[in-house]
Amino acid sequence: MNVLVTGVGRYLGAHLAVRLAAHPRVGRVVGVDTVAPTPELAELLDGRVEVRIAELRTLIGAIAEADIEAVAHMGIVSTPIRGGRPAMKEHNIIGTMQLLAACQAAPGLRKFVVRSSTAAYGASFRDPAVFTESTPPTLMPRGGFAKDIIEIEGYVRGFTRRRPDVTTTVLRLAPFVGPDADTTLTRFFALPLVPTVFGRDPRLQFIHSEDALEILVRSVVESHRGTYNVAGPGVITLSQAVRRAGRVGVPVVEPGMSAFAAFVKASGIGEFSLDQLDLFVHGRVVDTNRLVEEFGYRPRSTEEAFADLVQGRGLTRPGAFAVLRPETVAAVETLVLDGIRAARTAVTGRPGRGPTND
Amino acid sequence: MTDSPSRARTGARRTKPRPPSARRSAASAGAASTGAAADAKGGAAPSTGTAGTTDAATPARANGRRQSRAALNGHAGTEGRSNGRRANGVPWTPPVTPEPETASPPVPVDDHEPDIWDERVAGALRFLRRRITGQYDVDEFGFDPDLTETVVHPVLRLIYRHYFRVEAFGVENLPTDGSALIVANHSGTVPIDALMLTAAVHDETPDRRHLRLLGADLVFRLPFLSEVARKAGSTLACNPDAERLLRNGEYVGVFPEGFKGIGKPYRERYKLQRFGRGGFVSAALRTGAPIVPVAIVGAEEIYPIIANVRPLAKVTGLPYVPVTPLFPWLGPLGLLPLPSKWLIQFGKPIDTSTLTEDADDPIVVFNLADQVRETIQESLHELLERRPDPFT
């Protein structure tokens, strides 16, 4: 089976392409993107994947030419690329439309897998606590990425109707974290002081990058028709995540977050979009039962995925801006307890017995 | 696991020797056994025994205390001990029990008493460490049992016992295992009745169940309040959440009157308002969870609404802006609720397991909602007869 992977210039596309190339049931892997992979990713791809970098319009011909049977559409960006939001929208929506047009014209195509996002559910206080695949968004999300995702899913639904012979899989991915995945979110938790929204403690969910890739590979190689939430079961609140990363949260009032978003952009650590702001106010939790049943694969829980991020990136290592390292806190606890016991012994005049008196 | 140390601690507080009540529960074996009998039958002792109000109260309370002591001497004690050792590295000493222990060595009373204060300090520090390092669990609705057990319930318990002097009847009507939809009347301007109902369910059930409340979207729109509500186990009142909680085997608490009930003027006290669209009934029907009607008397008097400043409510987007005898005249002091005497009656559960097919039949849903409403209204009248003066 020959596979076309879009978005090989970025983490998810590049890693998926490499994994597919190593899979026994996959023949050729053609990787396309509009931007060249980073040196690190290029080294990974080198010799395993045929990488073609050009405008998407000119790349579509690759489907017919390379006798492609499966397309994995990973080329959807979540933050504005060079050229700002208009370029991002162009890349996401026009790119998807052109890809779908080419797919529709390819008679040999059997599978179409698209990376969507749980951002499709939006985030608002009127939403149920847990989204299932059939929950519609209550309010139209205000973030650009979420709007793109909803539009892309709409085009993919249209494609599914026109080509019922193609197995179409829509994977709504939660934000992915992992020791080697470098995203805005992972950079966010590496800040010495992590901004949070005043009076809000959203429930978050993550998917381990390894699990996300495993599920993507399975959906290309196996056959799973439909829409699936891809997230680590369980929940971690933002305050909990900040503390587990050994950080200190700095509550910022909601309007102040826009200023923070501008700061993030200016400081070059990444983009902080309205999608993420809404996520940081209301949180988002999805139900993953359908995924586990259909794929027979249980991803690492959100807690485990986050713990791996903290561990893998050494966030609580000495010198990594971690103020509240677990060892320090435990030591302070013992110190304070011993101090109180000593003080009580001094005052009451009885021998210090702690909790072990019998 | 996270709740066991605090459970043991609350048990210790409950069994602290309180001379008159201890004597009553120990000596009046008759009262305790009637309570146990009512428990075994699953019947409603209070509704049949309407003659004496205090008599009806005694078995329920004695029974509750007996159960908590049994839990303490049984699994809760040992669990707390092992947990304490694991968390702290040092053995945990059991709290003192008023009953004589057979194996206790004849040591002076002073030394036999374990160091309660040391355990409290160590427990508080353990709690702080868990909070600072984020080592606690939160469920998918945002419920934080560690915080709820350690901070929220102890505060609620004080108000429950000493401020409103709440008496709960018919707690045995709650199913001991599995889910239940607990439907109650809503009143009191500020939803303190929801908090007291949570305290009643948690403190009076033998295995200390949590009540998962369904809240209005106003609660989840506001910063702070939304997070406190989620951490204490509430979620937005919508069918997907209610059904999910019921399928998980939880007790779900709902106030179908909503703002119409809680914001009604004092002159309409204890008159149940309309029951919305009956969405709560279909949630129970779809999951087959029994409906337990609950009547709460006492909340109407805490902030008696004599007027509603409608224009101000319109401007602020609030459902009502109340004027009470104390608020806003006394400023912040007017925020203090009046110390009324509260009674909570848990009614007989209404089985819905046979009606699962009819969840979308509006006639079945409306009839069942009406039945629940009438049961609560009747129960309110009965409770009011038992409490002639709101403030005694």
Does any CB of chain A come closer than 8 Å to the CB of residue B138? yes
Name the band, by pLDDT with cuts 50, 70 and 90, for residue B341: very high
* Contact: A357, B115; criterion CB under 8 Å: yes
pLDDT tops 80 at residue A269: no
Task: Answer whether A125 sits within 8 Å of B226, measured CB to CB.
Answer: yes
Last residue within a domain, chosen from B107, B136, B165: B136
B window 182-211, beta carbon within 8 A of A: none
B226 and B344 belong to one structural domain: yes
- By residue range, what is the domain housing residue B193? 153-302+337-386
Quote the pLDDT of residue A268.
Answer: 59
Look at A145-154, B222-231, B353-362 and tell me which has the smallest mean pLDDT: B353-362
Report the chain B residue with the minimal C-alpha distance to residue A235.
B140
What token pair was written down for A51? Answer: 């990488």
Q: How many alpha carbons lie under 13 Å from residue A86 in its C-beta half-sphere?
A: 1
* A297 three-class SS: coil
Distance to chain B for A98, nearest Cα, Å: 37
Nearest to B69 by CA among B151, B129, B12, B126: B12
Lowest mean pLDDT among A128-142, A154-168, A252-266, B334-348: A252-266
The pLDDT score that the predictor gives to residue B248 is: 95
Closest by CA to A93, choosing from A26, A140, A149, A133, is A149
* A232 Cβ under 8 Å from any chain B Cβ: no
Helices B19-27/B29-41 angle, 10° precision: 70
Asked if A147 reaches chain B (Cβ–Cβ under 8 Å), the answer is: no
- Looking at the structure, do residues B189 and B68 belong to the same domain, yes or no? no
- Is B315 among the domain residues? no
**Cβ contact A234–B140 (<8 Å):** yes
Where does a domain end: B109, B136, B163?
B136
Mean model confidence pLDDT for chain A: 87
Q: How far is A47 from chain B (nearest CA, A)?
A: 44
Q: Calculate mean pLDDT across residues B107-127.
A: 75
Looking at the fold, whether B276 and B169 belong to one and the same domain comes out as yes
Give the pLDDT confidence score for residue A193 in this predicted structure. Answer: 85
Q: What is the dihedral of CA A249, A252, A258, A261, to 10 degrees?
A: -20
Rank A119-128, A313-322, B61-70 by mean pLDDT and report only the highest: A119-128
pLDDT at A19 over 80: yes
pLDDT bin (cut points 50, 70, 90) of residue A272 is: low
Count of C-beta atoms within a 10 Å radius of residue B11: 22
* Cα–Cα dist B27/B39, whole Å: 20
A72-86 pLDDT per residue, tens:
999 998 877 777 788
Which of the residues A236, A278, A337, A348 would you substitute to probe the B interface, choosing the one with the greatest number of B C-beta atoms within 10 Å?
A337
Matching residue, tokens 């699994």: B75
Among A124-138, A333-347, B202-216, the range with the most confident prediction by mean pLDDT is B202-216
| Residues from chain B contacting residue A126 (CB–CB below 8 Å) | 217, 220, 236
User: What angle in degrees, to the nearest 10, is found between the helix axes of A326-348 and B116-133?
Assistant: 160
Query: What six digits make up the tokens of A209?
Result: 């990058």
Nearest CA in chain A to B107: A358
Gap between the Cα atoms of B53 and B74, Å rounded: 32
The answer to whether A128 contacts B236, with C-beta atoms less than 8 Å apart, is yes
The answer on B92 and B204 residing in a single domain is no
Residue A286's closest chain B neighbor by CA?
B140
pLDDT(A165) > 90:
yes
DSSP three-state, residue B169: strand
CATH of the domain at B257: 3.40.1130.10
Which tokens go with B249? Answer: 């085997």
Judge contact between A242 and A248, C-beta under 8 A: yes
Question: What's the confidence (pLDDT) of residue A358?
Answer: 40
Judgement on whether residues B208 and B79 belong to the same structural domain of the protein: no
Specify whether B238 is located in the same domain as B269: yes
Q: Give B238-292 as a DSSP string.
A: -HHHHHHHHHTT-EEEE-TTTHHHHT--GGGTT-----TT-HHHHHHHHHTPPEE
- The verdict on whether omega for the bond into residue B98 sits within 30 degrees of 0, i.e. cis, is no
A345 touches chain B (CB under 8 A): no
Alpha helices (H) in B49-159, listed in sequence order: 53-71, 77-88, 109-112, 116-133, 145-147, 153-158
Min Cα–Cα distance to chain A from B124, Å: 10
Query: Is B56 a domain residue?
Result: yes
Per-residue pLDDT of B16-31, as tens digits, reads 444 444 444 443 443 3
> Which residues from chain A sit within 8 angstroms of residue B134, using beta carbons?
239-244
pLDDT > 70: percent of chain B: 71
Among chain A residues, CA nearest to B105: A358
To the nearest whole Å, the CA of B316 is away from the closest chain A CA by 18
Q: In this structure, is residue B332 part of a structural domain?
A: no
- B328 within a domain of the structure (yes/no): no
The answer to whether the Cβ–Cβ distance between B134 and A244 falls below 8 Å is: yes
Cβ of residue B104 closer than 8 Å to a chain A Cβ:
no
Alpha-carbon dihedral of residues B153, B159, B161, B164, nearest 10 degrees?
A: -140
B194 with B89, same domain? no
The answer to whether the Cβ–Cβ distance between B90 and A201 falls below 8 Å is no
Q: What is the largest CA-CA distance in chain A?
A: 90
Cα distance from A8 to chain B (closest Cα, Å)? 34
Q: Is residue B314 part of a domain?
A: no
Select from B118, B135, B217 the Cβ nearest to the Cβ of A355.
B118
pLDDT at A352 over 60: no
Helix axes B29-41, B53-71, angle to 10 degrees: 80
B345 contact partners, CB below 8 Å, separation of at least 6: B46, B47, B168, B169, B170, B294, B295, B297, B379, B382, B383
d(CA A306, CA A241): 8
> How close B350 gets to chain A, by Cα (Å)?
27
Question: Looking at the complex, does the CB of residue B124 fall below 8 Å from at least one CB of chain A?
Answer: no
Q: A115: Cβ–Cβ under 8 A, 6 or more apart, which residues?
A: A7, A12, A72, A73, A74, A76, A171, A173, A216
Q: What percent of chain B has pLDDT over 90?
A: 58
Note the Cα A291 to chain centre separation in Å: 16
pLDDT at B210 over 90: yes
Same domain, yes or no: B40 and B167:
no
Contact B140 A355 (CB under 8 A): no
Asked whether A68 and A3 are in contact (CB, 8 A), the reply is yes
Most B-contacting residue of A247, A333, A345 (CB-CB within 10 A), to test interface: A333
* Alpha-carbon gap, residue A236 to B142, rounded angstroms: 8
B288 or B48, which is more confident: B288
Mean local confidence (pLDDT), B121-143: 93
Mean pLDDT score of chain B: 78
Interface confidence, given as ipTM, is 0.88
Between these two residues, A214 and B91, which has the higher pLDDT value?
A: A214
3-class secondary-structure state, position A171: strand
pLDDT computed for residue A103 by the predictor:
92
CB of A330 within 8 Å of a chain B CB? The answer is yes
Assigned domain for B276 exists: yes
pLDDT of residue A264: 66
Report yes or no: A243 at the B interface, CB cutoff 8 Å: yes
- Nearest by CB to residue A129, choosing from B129, B140, B217, is B140
The closest alpha carbon to B341, from B374, B388, B272, B304, belongs to B388
Q: B231 and B358 share a domain?
A: yes
Q: Which residue has the higher pLDDT, A323 or B138?
A: B138
Confidence label for A281 from pLDDT (cuts 50, 70 and 90): confident
Chain B residues near residue A235 by CB distance under 8 angstroms: 138-140, 142
**Beta-carbon separation of B93 and A356 below 8 A:** yes
Chain A CB within 8 Å of residue B223 CB: yes
Out of A199, A234, A356, the one facing B91 most closely (by C-beta) is A356
Residue B146 forms part of a structural domain? no
Quote the radius of gyration of chain B (alpha carbons, Å).
22
Q: Of B101, B136, B171, which marks where a domain is finished? A: B136
| pLDDT at res. B75 | 42
The predicted pLDDT at position B29 comes to 40
The verdict on B92 touching A (C-beta cutoff 8 Å) is yes
- Could you give phi then psi for residue A83, rounded to 5 degrees? 110, -5
Whether residue B85 is found in the same domain as residue B230: no
Query: Would you say the C-alpha torsion A190, A193, A195, A200 has a positive or negative sign?
Result: positive
Count of domains in chain B?
A: 2
| B172 and B120 both lie in a single domain | no
- Residue A142 and residue A273 in contact, taking contact as beta carbons nearer than 8 Å: no
pLDDT at A349 over 80: no
Higher-confidence residue of A23 and A143: namely: A23
Q: Are B202 and B209 in contact (CB under 8 A)?
A: yes
Residue from the list A135, A329, A355 with its beta carbon closest to the beta carbon of B122: A355
CB contact under 8 A, B226 and A357: no
CB distance from A322 to chain B under 8 Å? Answer: no
Residues of A in contact with B227 (CB under 8 A): 199-201
Tell me whether residue B200 is in a domain: yes
What span, in angstroms and rounded, lies between the C-alpha atoms of A113 and B175? 47
Which one, of A150, A180, A149, A169, lies nearest residue A14 by Cα? Answer: A180
Query: By the 8 A CB rule, do B140 and A130 touch?
Result: yes
- What gap in Å lies between CA B83 and CA A31, rounded to an integer? 54
Which of A253, A329, A338 should be substituted to probe chain B, the one whose Cβ sees the most B Cβ atoms within 10 Å? A329
B274 and B366, same domain (yes or no): yes
| Whole-number pLDDT of residue B148 | 96
